[in-house]
Amino acid sequence: MNLIKPIKSALISVYHKENLDTITQLLKQFDVHIYSTGGTQQFLESQGAKVTSIESLTGYPSILGGRVKTLHPKVFGGILARKDNSEDAQQTEQYEIPTFDLVIVDLYPFEKTVESQASDSEIIEKIDIGGISLIRAAAKNFKDVAIIAAQSQYRLLIEMLEKNNGGTTLEDRKLLATHAFATSSHYDSHIFNYFNQHTQLTQLRVSFKEGKVLRYGENPHQKGVFFGNLYDMFEQLNGKELSYNNLVDVEAAIALVEEFEQTAFVIVKHTNACGVAIAETPLEAYQKAFACDTISAFGGVIATNRPVDLVTALELNKLFFEVLIAPSFHPEALGTLNSKKNRIILQQLQPLKNTAQYKTLLNGVLWQEKDNVVENEQQFKNITEKIPTKNEIKALEFALKICKHTKSNTIILANENVLIASGVGQTSRVDALEQAIEKAKHFGFSLQGAVMASDAFFPFPDCVEIAHKAGITAVVQPGGSVKDVDSIDYCNKNKVAMVFTGVRHFKH
C-alpha cells in the first residue's frame, strides 16, 4: 500500500521567498514544526508561523558571512536518519537530533549571476554549499523525507499536501527526489561549465531544465523532445504547435538571415536555402527570394530580419508556407497572415546564441565549435590575372554566406543580391554544379556575369570549366588542392576571376 506519511517537522531555507506564503499557511494549518534560519526565518515569522532557529538547534550562529548556516550533524542527522533503523533512532535520541519530514530549499541563482556578467567574486559567492547538501541528503532519504529543491516545485508540494491532508506518499517522495537530483545535477553542470571556460578539460556537461514533448520526431514513428525554452527565443503569434522538422528549419533560416545587415528574406526547405535575397524593402527582398525557386518555396520556412508590413504580408499570403519568422509585424500585416489558422507566425525576441554544436554517433557524442567565420573582401586572396570587379566582390561575399549554410557538397550561383541557384548535398562537386546550372535554366535565370561559391576546393579544373561555359565570371573557393594550379591556369586562359579564402565550410 502507498501509505500517507504525515509531515510533522520541516526545515526551510530558501533564497527566493515568492510564493512561499501559501506553503507557510498550509504548514501552519497542519501544525508542522518549522526550523529555519536568517531571512527565511524572518519571512516565515512575518507570515505568522512559529519557527525554531537553526542556530538554537545547533548551538552555532551563521558564520563566515553566511557561508556556513546548516552544515551541522544536528541538521543532517535529522534529514538522513532512517525511521525504520533502530540504531539510527537510538543515535538521534542520544544526541537530541530532531528528525525532519520535509526539506524546502531554493538554491542561490548561480546560472543567472553568470548570465548577468557579474564579477568572478560575485559568481563564486553564488555557488550554494549548504543548500545543495540539504537537497542531496533529503533526496537520498526519500523513504522518510520529502524534498522541494526549487521554487518551481512549490505548486507540486501544495497539491500533495492538499490531496493527502498534510502528508506525502512514498510515490510522492520518490518523484520529489527525482526532481531534486535533476536540480542538483543541473546546478553542478553549470558550475563545471563556468570553471571549464578557463581550464578546458575534455569533458562534456549539457543540462536543460525544461523539455517540451513534440508531436513526434523527424518521422511519426519517432519520439521527439525539445530541450530549452522556446519562449525566450520567440513569441508565437499564430498557428499550430511547432514540429521537430519545423524547429530544425527555423534554426537554419534564422542562422542564415542573421548573416545579413541589409534587408533580407530567406526561404528554407529541409535546412537548405531555396530562396535568398537582399533589397531596399522587405517586399522586394521577398519577391526576389521567392523567384529563386517558386516550386521549393511551397511549404517552406521563411525568415526576414526586418518588420513585416502589410504590403509584404499580402504578397506572402499568396503562398502556402509552414513558418514565418520576423523581428516584428505591423498590426494590419499580422491580421492578414493570421487568416490561416495553422500557419505558424513567430516574432523573434533574441538572436541565436549557440556557440557549440552536438551530434550523437557511435555510442557517443561529437562536439564542435559553431562555424562563425564568414570571409569578405579583406580575406580574399586574388590568385588569377583577372581581378574581380566591385560588383563581383559583393556577389562573392553574398554567395559565401549562403554557401556556409548549405549541405555539402555545395555550389552556390548568385549575383550581388540574389541566390540564382544552388547544388546541395551532392556526392561530387561536379554534380552539385550541374544541378545548380540546370536549376537556373529551369527557372529562366541567366548565368551571364554571375558568380560561383564552393564550400571546398576543386580537386580538378572541371568545375571552373563547366562554370565558365555557363557564363560564370568570378569564383570563390577555399583553395588548398594539390592541383589548384590547373584551375588557376584555366581561369587565366579564359579571363575568369578567382579568389581563395583559405577557409573550408563543410556542412554535413
Give the tens place of pLDDT for each residue, 243-262. 999 999 999 999 999 999 99
Q: How far is CA 221 from the centre of its chain?
A: 25
Give the tens place of pLDDT for each residue, 143-184. 999 999 998 899 999 999 999 998 999 999 999 999 999 999
The catalytic residue positions are 140, 270
Give the tens place of pLDDT for each residue, 494-507. 999 999 999 999 99
Q: What cell was used for 52? A: 525554531
Q: What cell was used for 281? A: 524593402
Structure-model confidence comparison of residues 391 and 54, the more confident one = 391
DSSP line for 293-343: -TTTTTT-EEEESS-B-HHHHHHHTTS--SEEEES-B-HHHHHHHTTSTT-
pLDDT score at 71: 83
Give the tens place of pLDDT for each residue, 296-307. 999 999 999 999
Give the tens place of pLDDT for each residue, 346-371. 999 999 988 889 999 999 999 999 99
- Beta bridge pairs of residue 211: 227
Give the tens place of pLDDT for each residue, 268-284. 999 999 999 999 999 99
pLDDT score at 11: 94
Structure-model confidence comparison of residues 105 and 198, the more confident one = 105
Q: What percent of the chain has pLDDT over 90?
A: 76
pLDDT score at 57: 87
Give the tens place of pLDDT for each residue, 61-79. 877 877 877 788 888 999 9
Q: What is the mean pLDDT of residues 310-334?
A: 97
Q: What cell was used for 298? A: 511551397
Phi and psi of 201, rounded to 5°? Answer: -65, 145
Place of cell 557561508: 67
- Residue 344: other Cβ atoms inside 10 A: 22
pLDDT score at 1: 53
Asked if pLDDT for residue 396 goes beyond 90, the answer is yes
Report yes or no: 331 and 168 within 8 Å, Cβ to Cβ.
Answer: no
Report yes or no: 131 and 105 within 8 Å, Cβ to Cβ.
Answer: yes
Residues in Cβ contact with 116 at an 8 Å cutoff, skipping those fewer than 6 apart: none
Give the tens place of pLDDT for each residue, 337-346. 999 999 999 9
Alpha helices per DSSP H over 329-426: 331-337, 390-404
3-state secondary structure of 413: strand
pLDDT score at 350: 94
pLDDT band for position 393 (50/70/90)?
very high
Alpha helices per DSSP H over 230-302: 230-233, 244-257, 282-292
pLDDT score at 54: 87
Q: What cell was used for 261? A: 545587415
Instruction: Look at strands 167-169 and 4-6 and give their pairing.
Output: antiparallel
Dist CA 193 CA 280 (whole Å): 43
Q: What cell was used for 65? A: 558571512
What value does the CA radius of gyration of the chain take, rounded to a whole number of Å?
Answer: 31
Place of cell 557549440: 356
Mean pLDDT score of the chain: 93
Report pTM.
0.86
**By mean pLDDT, which of 98-107, 202-211, 231-240 is the weakest?**
202-211
pLDDT score at 199: 81
pLDDT score at 359: 93
Residue type, 381: K
Dist CA 463 CA 470 (whole Å): 11
Closest CA to 166 of 2, 7, 1, 3: 7
